[in-house]
Chains A and B, each alone.
Chain A
Amino acid sequence: MAFQILINIFIAIIWMFLQNNYTAVSFVVGYVVGILILLILRRFLTFDFYMTRVWAIIKLIILFIKQLILANIDMVKIVLAPKLKNKPGIIAVPTKLETEWEITLLACLISLTPGTISMDFSDDNKTIYIHAVDAQNKEDEIEQIQETFVRAIMEVTK
């Protein structure tokens, strides 16, 4: 992926030299041209086209902001309720993610999503222990949210 970005920047610089016009606008135009060239030449590259991954990152950010807003609406409901009815609990969630980078990202996403905060990892990094603010009826829902996050992260890192 980094190699493709370097090729793209190189094409943009070549474009600036060909235009004899060294401005940011010319660089952006050259970058777009480079994206088109890489899209045409993608079957000769060993990786798949890197813009799909950039698109996956953008989708992950949008999902994350949506979950953050939902989390806060949830928090407001719990905090401002006249009686505290929530039953907190600690739940073990198994993950399929492998590298430490992915697991860190997942833990950060869990901490900022509705009703959960990541507390601890097991030794073999296969399980994340999360603290749920309302554990009585939410386990399936939480697992489902975790699955969407795990799938979005795996789309980014493949």
Chain B
Amino acid sequence: MNVSEIVEFIGVFLILIGSIMAVISAIGIVRLPDVYTRSHSGTKSSTLAVLLTLTGAFIFFWGSQSFASVRLLLGIVFVFLTAPVAGHLISRAAYRANVKTSDLTVEDELGDAIRAYEEEGTGEHEEDKKE
């Protein structure tokens, strides 16, 4: 087993772990009860899955064909930049559209803030106007 085979093995192993993470993320989206907990699973697990898969592909091509693809690295960076923002916006929009949460315990800190603002203000949120 020479060096390039070991490097290829590392790449293949990373791709395997990444696909397992993607399956677990999908199971989480099916199993979890409401939008917010599903967005946990959708944001974190699929980010790590894409990260591991792209890193594995990068290492594999580097080991087997000695070709360093910068596009894969840029893909990793862009997924890292955009996935948390997408999760943030989806859960925020769901909360603003009064999507009910499942069986919450300390739910009301954001709800209290919005309700207090509506009682003293005109009912229009400052944050909505700012966007």
Does B19 touch A at the CB level, under 8 Å?
A: no
Interface size class for chain A?
35 or more
Q: Tell me if A80 and B126 are in contact (CB < 8 A).
A: no
**With known contacts A69-B48, A79-B27, A119–B84 Cβ distance under 8 A:** no
Smallest CB separation, A105 vs chain B (Å): 10
**With known contacts A68-B48, A135-B106, A79–B28 Cβ distance under 8 A:** yes
- Within the assembled complex, what's the spacing in Å between the Cα atoms of A129 and B107? 11
Does B65 touch A at the CB level, under 8 Å?
A: no
Nearest B residue (CB) for A115: B40
- Within the assembled complex, what's the spacing in Å between the Cα atoms of A127 and B114? 13
- Within the assembled complex, what's the spacing in Å between the Cα atoms of A56 and B45? 27
Q: Tell me if A112 and B95 are in contact (CB < 8 A).
A: no
B residues within 8 A CB of A107?
84, 88
Smallest CB separation, B38 vs chain A (Å): 10
Does A8 touch B at the CB level, under 8 Å?
A: no
Does B75 touch A at the CB level, under 8 Å?
A: no
A residues within 8 A CB of B130?
123
Q: Tell me if B40 and A133 are in contact (CB < 8 A).
A: yes
Stretch from B8-16, B66-74, B97-105 at the A interface: B97-105
Q: Tell me if B44 and A72 are in contact (CB < 8 A).
A: yes
Q: Tell me if A120 and B102 are in contact (CB < 8 A).
A: no
A residues within 8 A CB of B106?
89-91, 135, 139
Interface centre among B43, B84, B108 (most CB of A within 10 A): B84
- Within the assembled complex, what's the spacing in Å between the Cα atoms of A69 and B49? 11
